[in-house]
Amino acid sequence: MIYLLAEIKANPNCIEKAKSLLESLIVPTHLEAGCESYQLFADQNVEGLFVMQEVWHSQAHLDAHLESAHFLNFLTTADEYKLFESVKLRPMNLVG
């Protein structure tokens, strides 16, 4: 299994648009082969800070996700509108 946390900070002037774009990934990603879990969280204390928790069956499944039409559209839109200040990817190991 591949465990990944994506910490995503939206630009302050477009938090709702950023949130909506992130939400648009959830349904099509859940339908992808190898997607075990794909959940979006919003920080309770920091406005505009989101965490996407991802679990993939294999690296090949994650790689396919990164090349999917909906993810590539997400990247294009995010760049076009400068929706995010930062994105930090954190590969994780399951401990317990």
Domains of the chain: 2-92 (3.30.70.100)
Picking from 3, 43, 38, 6, the residue whose alpha carbon sits closest to that of residue 23 is 38
Query: pLDDT tens digits, residue range 19-60?
Result: 999 999 999 999 999 999 999 999 999 999 999 999 999 999
pLDDT of residue 8: 98
Question: pLDDT tier at 11 (50, 70, 90 boundaries)?
Answer: very high
Query: pLDDT tens digits, residue range 62-82?
Result: 999 999 999 999 999 999 999
Within 10 angstroms of residue 96's Cβ, the number of other Cβ atoms is: 2
**Model confidence, pTM:** 0.94
